[in-house]
Chains A and B, each alone.
Chain A
Amino acid sequence: MADDRRKTPEELFAEAVRDPRDLTRYLHYLKQTKSEGMSVLVAPLDAAINWSRANALWPLTFGLACCAIEMMAVGAAKFDLDRFGAGAFRPTPRQADLMIVAGTVTHKMAPRVKRLFDQMPEPKYVMAMGACTIGGGPYSVHGYHVVKGLDRFLPVDVYVPGCPPRPEALIDALLWLQQKIAQERPLIKRYSKETA
């Protein structure tokens, strides 16, 4: 606990959210952040909201290329994304909150990816799966029709390297995303006197 003083409020909150039974961590978080004027009543609500969002991420069935096959393998029985709450793949973006862009994005496809992202309701998260979405992948040098990275036109939350990434890597990325969501403070941002 001695080095907690160097952690940011978001990190303290995330730690508290990860283990809600550890009351001491939560009280420590309150003590650390009380000086910043955070609302004590809203913090547990935030924790609850983050917990429910992180553990029930519904991905969009958005397989573009080879990485889509590994995404399907993650959805199947051996690796099973459903035990992390993310097994309900939705075909329509209006019902999805996670877009796993699995595969190369080409110039012809890019406007459609953007449109699908726009159609997703907030809060929405984007996972760039595979080397092609990170920086063009094997096509980054000679591919005239390939967009050299998804983050050129979309905000990306998690990058998953690999060509294609192993199913375990995709599950790891999902857990990273869950930790990232745990650090959010949606209500505190809205209602506290001091904005973060």
Chain B
Amino acid sequence: MDIRSIHALLRDRFENIIGELQTPERGDASIAVAAEGLADVCRFLRDNDATRFDFLRLISSVDRGTRLSSIYHLYSYPHSHTAVLRVDVDREAPRVPSVSSIWASAEWHEREAFDMMGIIYENHPELTRILLPDDWEGHPLRKDYQPPAEYHGLTNT
């Protein structure tokens, strides 16, 4: 199935939760999904026979200035097709439902997105920092991040 058919299938099933299909001139297309319906959409994509997205490749987080995005790259081993989902959230209250109950690999990806970008994944079993020390302040991949001048006595310049 190509991305347009997947988008049409999702639009049929979930209506308002699915946003526009962004097809740039170069590069990958992505399907916008509203945050509150993400878990249902993902479960459908994994279990539905036509789509069968059993492999969550990665979860990225992007800071687009006005909003943060949580991007999901999916792949299906039986059908060999891909899909890209995009969830946009507000900078001040970035809350996205967790998909770690759907794909086990999501657990660490979501922890990393939380660590680096500060997106909070609801119902995640253990949403703690994974790469940076637990007492690190700030989320480095945000565009307005200022690195600390020093950390436990060691300067950063």
Q: How far is the CA of A107 from the CA of B148 in the complex (A)?
A: 11
Which residue of chain A has the shortest Cβ distance to B151 in the bound complex?
A107
Contact B132 A111 (CB under 8 A): no
A 54-69 contacts with B by CB, 8 A: none
Contact B152 A144 (CB under 8 A): no
Q: Which residues on the B side are within 8 Å of A145 (C-beta)?
A: 132, 140
| Contact flag A108-B133 (CB < 8 Å), given A144-B140, A144-B147 | yes
A185 within 8 A of B: no
Contact B140 A107 (CB under 8 A): no
Q: How far is the CA of A113 from the CA of B133 in the complex (A)?
A: 15
Which residue of chain B has the shortest Cβ distance to A105 in the bound complex?
B154
**Nearest-Cβ distance from residue A117 to partner chain B, whole angstroms:** 15
A176 within 8 A of B: no
B80 within 8 A of A: no
Q: Which residues on the B side are within 8 Å of A190 (C-beta)?
A: none
Q: How far is the CA of A152 from the CA of B153 in the complex (A)?
A: 10
Q: Which residues on the B side are within 8 Å of A107 (C-beta)?
A: 133, 151-152, 154
Q: Which residues on the B side are within 8 Å of A152 (C-beta)?
A: 154-155
B156 within 8 A of A: yes
Query: Chain A 97-127 against B: per-residue CB contact (8 Å), 1 yes, 0 no?
Result: 0000000000110110000000000000000
A147 within 8 A of B: yes
Considering only CB atoms and an 8 Å cut-off, how many residues of chain A contact the other chain?
Answer: 10
Contact A144 B133 (CB under 8 A): no
Contact A111 B156 (CB under 8 A): no
Which residue of chain A has the shortest Cβ distance to B134 in the bound complex?
A108
Which residue of chain A has the shortest Cβ distance to B156 in the bound complex?
A144
A153 within 8 A of B: yes
**Nearest-Cβ distance from residue A37 to partner chain B, whole angstroms:** 42
| Contact flag A153-B133 (CB < 8 Å), given A144-B140, A144-B147 | no
B 26-79 contacts with A by CB, 8 A: none
Q: Which residues on the B side are within 8 Å of A148 (C-beta)?
A: 155-157
Which residue of chain A has the shortest Cβ distance to B153 in the bound complex?
A153
B 68-123 contacts with A by CB, 8 A: none
Which residue of chain B has the shortest Cβ distance to A140 in the bound complex?
B157
Q: How far is the CA of A108 from the CA of B115 in the complex (A)?
A: 14
Q: Which residues on the A side are within 8 Å of B133 (C-beta)?
A: 107-108
Q: How far is the CA of A153 from the CA of B153 in the complex (A)?
A: 9
**Nearest-Cβ distance from residue B124 to partner chain A, whole angstroms:** 22
Which residue of chain A has the shortest Cβ distance to B129 in the bound complex?
A108
Using a CB–CB cutoff of 8 Å, the interface residues on chain A facing chain B are 107-108, 110-111, 144-145, 147-148, 152-153
| Contact sample, A vs B, 10 pairs, CB 8 Å cutoff | A107-B152, A108-B132, A110-B152, A110-B154, A111-B152, A144-B140, A144-B147, A145-B132, A148-B156, A152-B154
Using a CB–CB cutoff of 8 Å, the interface residues on chain B facing chain A are 132-133, 140, 147-148, 151-157
